Structure formats: C-alpha cells, structure tokens
Structure 1
Amino acid sequence: MTSVTPREQRRLANGVKQALREASLQVAMLNHQVGTKLGLRDADFDCLNLLNQHGALGPGALAKLAGLHPATMTGVLDRLEKAGFVTRDRDPGDRRAVVVRTSPERGGEVLGLYAGMNDLMDGICAGYSAEELAVITDFLRRAAAAGRDATAKLAD
C-alpha cells in the first residue's frame, strides 16, 4: 500500500464521499423513475424495496425500517395491495398479527425496469478483479451500515 500524506488522505476520502453522494442521488433518481413507471409514490416504492430486501415483515416493523408513522404505513400498504405488489396475510405464528409479503406476479415487472441498470453494472463489475470486487462490496456494506446508524440517530 502506498503511503500518502494526511492532506492527500483527506482529499481522497472527500472524493469517495462525493462519488458516493453522486451515486446515491443517481440511484434515487432511477428508483423514482421505476416507481413512476409502476404508478407508485416514492414512499410506496421504498417500502416495496424494503420488503424485497428483508422478506415478509409486520406492518410495524416495515414502518420502523422505512421511517414512517404506522398510520402512514396503512395507506402505503393499502395502495401497494390494491396495485397487486403485496399481500397482507395472517402470521402463522400469531393469528392476531399480519405479515406483509411481496406478490411474485409483479416482481418480474420490477426486475424488467432495472434490466438496463443491471446490464450496465455487470459491465462495470467485469472490469474489476475478484479481490477488487470484494473490497468494493465491503466498502458499500460498511457505507450502508453507516447510513443506517446516522439515520437512526437523526430519527431519535
């Protein structure tokens, strides 16, 4: 590893943070366009993404992950269910509770809208070695964890 001065390290770190902000903004804009094509509001699409990432969740857990008030979550779930993106089922472990699941029928439609980005990302990743991809993956996971921590602190 090459040694750099503290000033150069700060400059490089600032470049990483700027690039991450730009990437985050572009992904947010892509998500907005995909959500618009699907007829979903941004918050609704965010919740659908959270369900795809975390699997079936109770409405309260989903509201907490999304940073939404439980009453707001009711409206989000009503819209997602009406559009066929989710179902609300009784929790088999607790018949009083409800679990929200994504509907596989509309999943292919969502994936299709991301096909262009996925192809572009495959091309970018092809230019990196396995070791470099491992470092990039580690960095992005740590950046996501930092974002979750910062968000939780702001939410308190």
Structure 2
Amino acid sequence: MDFVLSQEPDAQRRRRRTGADIKRALRELNNQVALLNHQVGSRVDLRPVDLDCLDVITLHGPLSPSELARRAGLHPATMTGILDRLEKNRWVVRERDDGDRRAVRVRTLPDRARELFVLYGGMNESMDDIFEDYTEEQLATLADFLQRASTAGFDATTALAEL
C-alpha cells in the first residue's frame, strides 16, 4: 500500500508537467500562427485585427456588427472602422437583414477568401500531413481538446472585455 501512495505524488507531478508542456506548446503555436497571419496579412494588405475579424466572420458569419464586436472582444466603434476597411477592399459586404430592414449582417466575399486559402495552403498541407500520424480516435480527442480550449479562450476574452 505504501508503494501505491508514494507513486501518486509522482503521477500528479508528471500530470502537472505534461499540462505545463501543453500550455507552452499552445503558446508557441499561437506565436507561430500570429507570425503566419502577419505574413499573410502583409501580402493582402490586411491589419492583424482586420484579418482576425475576417476569420471570425468566415467561421461564424454572417454576423451583425455588434455580434462580431462581441466575438472579437472589440468596442463597436472600433468595429465600424474595421468593417469600413474590409468592405472598401472587397473582403466583406454589409447586407440588410430580410426580417428587420434596420438590421445589418456582414458576410465574406468568396473571391477574396480564395486568396487567403492559397496563402494558407502551406500550413494546411502541413496539418494534413500531421493528421496522417494519428488514428481517428486520437484526432477526435485532439479536436475535442482544441474546441474546449477555444471555448475557454472565448470565455476569458469575454470576461476581460466586460471589465
């Protein structure tokens, strides 16, 4: 019995160390994606915040400007300037909502999205190669972890924005 109890602190220590390794790897991934986004943005003349908002619209749109501001953690007045730039450069279009003529929805324009798809092609191909090293079950676990981590990030961003 003493042997089992003495191993528990080691198991907990290993678990904490592995958790710290994962957090460190996520930070490094965040840095690398930020650098990739900087390169992509510079090629298509998009500011980092514009590229971030464009991605939110692509993932979750069409969205109202206020919903986009909430999801991006930005003030609505800031969002107006971002949307003006994105619309001027034909990345997005603002459309009236059929149900409420006063309401506006923002959606991406597919032609410009293809430009980004090409620029992110190298990363997408590398990710596909990495996926080959994992079983379907492992990929499902990774997808679940990343979705939950993304939700935690969204919740933390929302909490900070409300302060």
What is the TM-score normalised by the length of structure 2? 0.90
Name which of 44, 59, 65 aligns with 1:53: 59
Same amino acid, percent of matched pairs: 55
Name which of 19, 33, 42 aligns with 2:39: 33
- Number of aligned positions between the proteins: 154
Q: Does 1:8 align with 2:24?
A: no
How far does residue 98 in structure 1 lie from its aligned partner after superposition?
1.1
Task: Tell me the distance in 1 between the aligned counterparts of 2:157 and 2:80.
Answer: 22
SS at match of 2:104: strand
Task: Tell me the distance in 1 between the aligned counterparts of 2:154 and 2:25.
Answer: 19
SS at match of 1:101: strand
Name which of 101, 112, 121 aligns with 1:95: 101
Pairwise CA RMSD? 1.2
Q: Does 1:43 align with 2:85?
A: no
Look at both structures and tell me which one has the larger radius of gyration over its CA atoms.
2
- Residue in structure 2 matched with residue 135 of structure 1 by the alignment: 141
Please list the CA deviations of residues 70-126 of structure 1 after superposition, one character each: whole Å capped at 9, or x if unmatched. Answer: 111111111101111001111111001111110111111110001000000000011
Structure 1 counterpart of 2:34, one-letter code? A
Task: Tell me the distance in 2 between the aligned counterparts of 1:96 and 1:118.
Answer: 39
The 5 Å alignment of 1:56-95 reads 56-95=62-101
- Residue in structure 2 matched with residue 149 of structure 1 by the alignment: 155
SS at match of 1:147: helix
What is the TM-score normalised by the length of structure 1? 0.94
Structure 1 counterpart of 2:137, one-letter code? E
SS at match of 2:103: strand
* 4+ residue runs over 6 A deviation: none
Task: Tell me the distance in 1 between the aligned counterparts of 2:72 and 2:151.
Answer: 15
